[in-house]
Amino acid sequence: MWARAVSLALATVALAGASDVLYEISDEQYYEMPTLFHLDEYERCLATRGVYCTGSFELSPQGPHQLFQLMQRYSANWVDNFNHTRLHRGLCVSQRCRQLAPQQHPGQGEHNAALAEWFESCVNESTMLSYNLSSRLYQLEYCRRGEVNPDGLSTNERAFAGFVAILLAFCAVSTVLDLTLSDHAKKGAAWALSFSIPGCWRSLLAPPPCSSETDLRAFDGLRVLCMMCVIIEHVCWITTHTFLADTRRYEQTRRALDAMLMANSTLVVQIFFMMSSFLLAHKLLQQRRRGEQVPVVRTFFDTMINRIIRVSPSYFVVVWFAASWWSRAGSGPMWTPLIEAEVNICRSKWWTHLLYLNNIVYANDKCLIQTWYLAADMQLYGLSLLLTLALWRCRRGAIYVLTALLAGSIALLFGLAYTWRLVPTFVMHRPESVRTTYSTEPSFNVLYQSPLGNVPGALAGLLLAHLHHQLLDSRIVLSKYKWFRWSAVSSVCVSAWWVAASPLLLGRGAPGRGGAAALAALERPIFAFFVGVALLGAMHGVPSPIGSFLSWRGWGCGARLSFGALLLHLPLNKSLVAARLAPTQLDRQSAILEWFGVASVSYLAALPLALCVELPAQRLHRALSALRRRSHVQSDVAPHDTRQKTDL
């Protein structure tokens, strides 16, 4: 203990002397540093009854150490670089350090501690011999001796298997009825045909509704394009989350324009929030223009129930799979820290997903991390619905109220970001923060996944809907104005430029407090503004190449499958990466190829999810709602018919 305290004190003195930041070092200097990630042969080690351990180590010098000071100064650029004073190892310790094996065979608890000590001694011996640096194990993922026999099926796993069997039986029976019943018989049994695969296929391929006043064809293409952006960002994110083969290339390309565009592309999630709130307000405002009466309380509950039925079935099925069978889907040296750890979280906080509170309750525990969007979207959907109903009678005033709310939300976010030293999206996605799944990064919980951080996108969608209907009421055709046509077309390029280049406003290294707070508060509203201008142009018929591309009718099916792809792409990609037996290479070529592979498999896997879960639930809800309305009409007509017979 005394020697370790002295070494830590010397390390602190060295850190104080190496407080300046090194932004560039030569390749020779870089490869003098210890390799950050290493994995021994996993399957061979366990097959020979060896001991395999995975964990992370913190390095410290025994005295003044020039290489360690270089590592500290280079790691001080924490926005772009890994922490090179920490190593991550997966070793077959029984093969590498047989001479350090414990001599006794204690009980189970002591046995695990002895294996961890063996692991630490093995890595420490290696770093002392090669670099004269001691290693301290600060995070042990697991130590495993020999192949592990899988446990028997749990009650949860049996229940999920039974649910899938019943679901497939429903689909089979409903399909047989759909193929054998006459058209007349089908009219009274729509609920029994809800799970029909041919019927769901027809619903999947049905053309979207059209409107003569508002051109919404580009929304389907935009939904697919945004989903592809999310997938490629997650492909690179998951690879960063595991062991990388060449960290030098990763750190050098982080400031490249295309790499910043990829890392910052999660801003496109704001488009989902905008479209969600816009379509909600657009539907209600159409009813107002037609002069229909909208009861506030009934409309709120009916709309929210429809939303929950639209989202929940597929969402809950995927969460249930993650909490039950996912851990049995593969194996590998990274399977335990990447998959089994997340499965345990899903088993403990599944109920927060059922309540759409997983982005707020136990926010640091991430189960299917992409589902934070579904919780935030449901929360903001309810808020947008309340605002639309509250502003129902305010035609011109609604725009001013929403603008004031948007400005107030931006000011509030700036105040929180400045007070709590929060950072914008690109800085939040720094390498070490990704590796820890943002467990020590408050910006993720406050700005990224909370409803407060995403309220500007929802307000921008509401503002766009009210502005659009105000223009329709005033009979103003924006496509007639040259300045607007140019603004709408150029906004597409400007929004993409903002995503790629906005991190450059902070410069290199640790960002200043004021600049980071300003960008954290403004990056989403500015992006939403340019997207809103482009969408307004598309809705008003402004011709553009990107608008024509997104308005292609073939996007409809892909847009309907995008929800399933959102749910499935990350578990599929994470399973692929966790099962690899060697550190993963991350460069432009591998990222693009893996992007297309993961996207293709995700959309293919989303097809059975849509045909067997998502669409049947929606069709069943519509059939039961129609049956209930028909029964109400019959009950209202029956007394009237009786009265007529009595009069006769």
Q: What percent of the chain has pLDDT over 90?
A: 75
Q: CA 24 to CA 77: how far, in whole Å? A: 10
Please state, in angstroms and as integers, the Cα–Cα distance from residue 61 to each residue in 68, 138, 256, 647, following that order.
Answer: 7, 16, 34, 104
User: If you search the block for the tokens 């650029």, which residue do you land on?
Assistant: 77
Q: CA 460 to CA 110: how far, in whole Å? A: 58
pLDDT at 207: 85
What letter represents residue 460's amino acid? A
Sheet with 51-61: strands ordered across: 37-39, 86-92, 51-61, 133-145
Q: CA 576 to CA 349: how far, in whole Å? A: 24
Q: CA 611 to CA 600: how far, in whole Å? A: 17
CA angle 549, 555, 557 (to 5 degrees): 175
* Mean pLDDT, range 269-287, rounded to an integer: 94
Q: CA 258 to CA 439: how far, in whole Å? A: 27
Would you tell me how many other CB atoms lie within 10 Å of the CB of residue 104? 7
pLDDT at 8: 37
Asked whether the predicted pLDDT for residue 356 surpasses 90, the reply is yes
Most confident listed range (67-76, 146-155, 395-404): 67-76
pLDDT band at 626 (very low <50, low <70, confident <90, very high): confident
Backbone angles phi, psi at 84, to 5 degrees: -80, 0
| Secondary structure (H, E, C), 17-69 | HCCCCCCCCCHHHHHHCCCCEEECCHHHHHHCCCEEEEEEEEEEECCCCHHHH
* Mean pLDDT, range 447-475, rounded to an integer: 94
Q: Which residues of 3-23 are buried (b: 16+ CB within 10 A; e: fewer)?
A: eeeebeebbeebeeebeebbe
Asked whether the predicted pLDDT for residue 643 surpasses 50, the reply is no
Q: CA 177 to CA 349: how far, in whole Å? A: 39
pLDDT at 637: 54
pLDDT at 638: 52
Asked whether the predicted pLDDT for residue 7 surpasses 60, the reply is no
Q: CA 541 to CA 197: how far, in whole Å? A: 37
Beta bridge mates, 90: 39, 54
Report the greatest alpha carbon distance in the chain.
111
Pairing of strands 86-92, 37-39: parallel
Residue 120 structure tokens? 């630490």
Please state, in angstroms and as integers, the Cα–Cα distance from residue 424 to each residue in 23, 99, 629, following that order.
Answer: 21, 49, 50
Asked whether the predicted pLDDT for residue 607 surpasses 80, the reply is yes
- The answer to whether 410 touches 522, Cβ cutoff 8 Å, is yes
- The answer to whether 553 touches 455, Cβ cutoff 8 Å, is no
pLDDT at 73: 95
Residue 310 structure tokens? 């639209």
pLDDT at 2: 34
Instruction: Render pLDDT for 14-25 as a digit per residue (tens, 0 to 9).
Output: 333 345 899 999
Task: Calculate the average pLDDT of the chain.
Answer: 89
| 10 Cβ contact list (under 8 Å, min separation 6) | 60, 61, 62, 63, 64
* Mean pLDDT, range 35-46, rounded to an integer: 94
pLDDT at 625: 85
| 602 Cβ contact list (under 8 Å, min separation 6) | 231, 564, 565, 568, 569, 572
Q: CA 379 to CA 454: how far, in whole Å? A: 10
Q: CA 367 to CA 621: how far, in whole Å? A: 29
Q: CA 127 to CA 137: how far, in whole Å? A: 12
* Mean pLDDT, range 61-74, rounded to an integer: 93
Pairing of strands 51-61, 86-92: antiparallel
Q: CA 607 to CA 470: how far, in whole Å? A: 39
Asked whether the predicted pLDDT for residue 442 surpasses 80, the reply is yes
User: What contacts 24+ positions apart, CB below 8 Å, involve 113-118?
Assistant: 115/51, 115/53, 115/143, 115/145, 116/53, 116/55, 116/140, 116/143, 118/51, 118/53, 118/93, 118/143
Residue 540 structure tokens? 């008003």
Asked whether the predicted pLDDT for residue 78 surpasses 90, the reply is yes
Beta bridge mates, 86: 58
Q: Measuring CA to CA, which residue among 255, 538, 288 is closest to residue 398?
A: 288
* Mean pLDDT, range 340-357, rounded to an integer: 95
pLDDT band at 646 (very low <50, low <70, confident <90, very high): very low
pLDDT at 10: 33
Q: CA 648 to CA 2: how far, in whole Å? A: 107
More confident site: 146 or 244: 244
pLDDT at 327: 94
pLDDT at 644: 38
- Terminal C-alpha separation, the chain: 104
pLDDT band at 635 (very low <50, low <70, confident <90, very high): low
Would you tell me how many other CB atoms lie within 10 Å of the CB of residue 405? 16
Q: Measuring CA to CA, which residue among 340, 318, 323 is closest to residue 331?
A: 340
356 φψ region: left (φ > 0), alpha (ψ -120 to 50), beta (else):
left
Asked whether the predicted pLDDT for residue 440 surpasses 80, the reply is yes
Q: CA 160 to CA 162: how far, in whole Å? A: 5
Burial of 384: CB neighbours in 10 Å, binned 0-12, 13-18, 19+? buried
Enter the pTM of the model: 0.91
Lowest-confidence pick of 141-150, 265-274, 601-610: 141-150
Q: CA 636 to CA 630: how far, in whole Å? A: 10
60 φψ region: left (φ > 0), alpha (ψ -120 to 50), beta (else):
beta
pLDDT band at 150 (very low <50, low <70, confident <90, very high): confident
pLDDT at 290: 85
pLDDT at 370: 95
